Amino acid sequence: MNLSDLLNGCIKGHRKSQDFLYEKYAGRLYFTCLRYIQNNEEAQDVLQESLIKIYKNIQNFDNDNEGAFWSWMNRIAVNTALNHIRDNKRFEETDISELENVLGFSEEEEECDSSLFSTVSSEKILQIIQELPSGYKIVFNMYVFEDFSHKEIAEKLNISINTSKTQLFKARKLILSKINQIIDNKLVKQAI
């Protein structure tokens, strides 16, 4: 089934087309939800809500490009996740200095070898992203995966552009630090 059939079918309420859309995109959408929301059950709620919004608004999508269609759906999932976070008052700018103390950040720039990085599984990376403080996580996801600019992020989250930049910077640093920890653990295990 190509995209045009899929869209036509969903617009007409054909179950076959809706099934097809679900099978094709639900996994990726769920991944999007999990990037923003750590709790599985909440992520599933957000996925459900997103899918229903997609089915009910699919007639508003006016493009036969599959990439554009995915972007549109992903944007719906992201907005739904952000609304969920906002409704539950989970979004908070992470206090950097406090976090630095807790995590023991140093001024030194974190680095890791790309060959070693490739040994880290996608599941592990997802887990690292999920475990980020909510402020870091949201800014990082929006900037890296959804290609929002800092200005857009600032407007959407009602924060300053500088805050967005800082949170992204710290998120990267934290992720690198955790990836290095995983790699180190692996190397230690191998050495043993």
Partner 1 sequence: MNINNNNIDDFIKKSMEGFEVRPPSQIKSSVFNKLFFYNLWLRRKRLLPFVIALLMVSSGAIGYSIYNPQLSISALKIYSIKKNTFKPLTQQPFENAQSEPQIQNDNKINNKETVKSSKAIDEQKSEPTKILTQKNDNDKIIPAKENNFNTQKNQNSNNNIIEKPALIALSNNSIQTPVNINPQEDIKTELITSYSPLPSPMALYNPNNLPECLASINSPKFKTQFLWSGSINYDIPIYSNSRTFEGSDQLAQKYSSSFKNTFGPIGINFRAEKKNLFFDFGIKYSSFQEKIQTPFGLTNPYDKENIDLIGHYITVDTSAYYHYYWISDSTVRIIDSVWTVEFDSTSHNLYDTTYTKIYDTVHNPVLSVKYTRLDFPLFIGWNTMVKRFQFGVSTGPIINLFINTNNSISPDYIYYETFKDLNGKFSKFKVGLSWQISASAGYFITNRLVVELSPYYRFRVINVKPDYSNATIRTSEIGVNAGIRYFF
- The binding site for partner 1 (CB under 8 A) comprises 2-5, 8, 11-13, 15, 18, 22, 26-28, 30-31, 34, 44, 47-48, 51-52, 55-56, 64, 109-114, 117-118, 120, 122, 125-126, 143-145, 169, 172-173, 175-176
**Residue nearer to partner 1 on the CB measure, 110 or 158:** 110
**Residue nearer to partner 1 on the CB measure, 112 or 161:** 112
**Residue nearer to partner 1 on the CB measure, 64 or 158:** 64
> Which CB contacts under 8 angstroms, 24+ apart, belong to 148-153?
none
Min separation Cβ 134 and partner 1, Å: 18
**Residue nearer to partner 1 on the CB measure, 27 or 158:** 27
**Residue nearer to partner 1 on the CB measure, 45 or 192:** 45
Burial class (CB in 10 A: 0-12, 13-18, 19+), 36: buried
Residue 51, C-beta contacts closer than 8 angstroms, at least 6 positions apart: 22, 26, 29
Cα→Cα distances 68→7, 147, 184, Å: 13, 14, 40
What is the distance in angstroms between the CA of the first residue and the CA of the last residue of the chain?
52
Min separation Cβ 89 and partner 1, Å: 25
Give the integer Cα–Cα distance in Å for 186 and 84: 36
Burial class (CB in 10 A: 0-12, 13-18, 19+), 109: exposed
- Based on its alpha-carbon atoms, the radius of gyration of the chain, rounded to whole angstroms, reads 19
Min separation Cβ 150 and partner 1, Å: 13
Min separation Cβ 143 and partner 1, Å: 7
**Residue nearer to partner 1 on the CB measure, 44 or 71:** 44
Min separation Cβ 178 and partner 1, Å: 11
Closest CA to 164 of 184, 138, 187: 138
